[in-house]
Amino acid sequence: MRSSLNINVNGLLLLLCGVNLAGTLGYKPVIIVHGLFDGPKQFLMMSRLIQEAHPGTNVSVIDLYDNMASLKPLWVQVQGFKELLYPIMQEAENGVHLICFSQGGLICRGLLSTLPDHNVQSFISLSSPQAGQYGDTDILKMVFPHYLKARVFHVCYSSVGQKWSICNFWNDPHQRERFLKSSNYLALLNGERPHREMTEWRKNFLRINKLVLIGGPDDGVITPWESSHFGFYDINETIVEMKNQEWYGRDSFGLKTLHARGDLAVYVLSGVKHGYWHSNETVFRGCIEEWLT
């Protein structure tokens, strides 16, 4: 089902009374994109917190590729989400905010890179494996129950494997050449595998006013957890921080430029498990609320 679940009870009541508080206070619409095996119901608390902080805000939780359908290839999902998000953007004269959780953060990057006229003000990446995923987690075992992380590349770095979303961002540091040759999503987004749209995608991505990266060491799913801040393993499984990544140095998709502009905010929070980022009030108040004006 392709639809947008619009959770805006306060705004509806105000509009019925002839008052649009969101317009009065200048709150921009917020669009939420869910993660792997998720759907709109996981974001009821987030929607409520947004309404409490900024009454009347138009909050759209996109109801698409929910639950098992979230395993579809990421480029397929990008196209589907694009069809639903773009009309919301067009109606928002002053722009919109994106909150994208887990795998949804990578879908949002695909949207931002390929939409030349998007009007996203804040892109909030909430515990998303922006530099890839490499780890034996419960979610991995659900998808590949008979494989350890060291063997997943046999499946993921194949034409069949690339039809699964998790394989689109599987980044085995011990199989670098295979990743660069086979990855048809993450390697392209990062500009690690050159392609003719790189310049245009970089230009599109840099239309955002603020990139907000949120993650923490107790996540338990994003592996390494530093991937939520564009850090990742080298061949020895030692963390290479964002600023020391090759694609950051080359500024291949605009991250270095955003950082230099002062438009990159990074938050590290301990004690938050992966499934609780979007329902944790401390996370919302401390990391998200200020960017939703």
Write out pLDDT tens, residues 72-113. Answer: 999 999 999 999 999 999 999 999 999 999 999 999 999 999
Counting residues of the chain whose pLDDT is more than 90, the rounded percentage is: 86
Spatial separation of the C-alpha atoms in residues 35 and 99, rounded to whole Å: 11
In a domain, 22, yes or no: no
Place of tokens 């670098």: 176
* Average pLDDT score over residue span 251-257: 98
Q: What is the pLDDT at residue 143?
A: 65
In a domain, 154, yes or no: no
In a domain, 5, yes or no: no
Q: What is the pLDDT at residue 136?
A: 77
* Average pLDDT score over residue span 136-159: 79
Q: What is the pTM of this model?
A: 0.89
- Check pLDDT > 80 for residue 139: no
Q: What is the pLDDT at residue 87?
A: 96
In a domain, 84, yes or no: yes
The CATH number assigned to the domain holding 121 equals 3.40.50.1820
In a domain, 164, yes or no: no
* Average pLDDT score over residue span 25-52: 94
> Which tokens belong to 123?
């892109």
Counting residues of the chain whose pLDDT is more than 70, the rounded percentage is: 88
Q: What is the pLDDT at residue 8?
A: 42
Q: What is the pLDDT at residue 10?
A: 37
- Check pLDDT > 60 for residue 262: yes
SS3 of residue 104 by DSSP: helix
Catalytic residues, which ones?
102, 219, 274
* Average pLDDT score over residue span 165-169: 96
In a domain, 140, yes or no: no
Domain total in the chain: 1
Q: What is the pLDDT at residue 287?
A: 98
Residue 204 belongs to domain spanning: 30-135+186-291
- Check pLDDT > 90 for residue 15: no
In our burial notation (b when 16+ CB lie closer than 10 A, e otherwise), range 208-244 reads bbbbbbbbbeebbbbbbbbbbbbbbbeeeeeebebee
User: Cβ of 264: how many Cβ atoms within 10 Å?
Assistant: 18
In a domain, 251, yes or no: yes
Alpha-carbon distance values, 24 to 33, 53, 73, 120, 165 (Å): 26, 15, 40, 20, 41
In a domain, 247, yes or no: yes
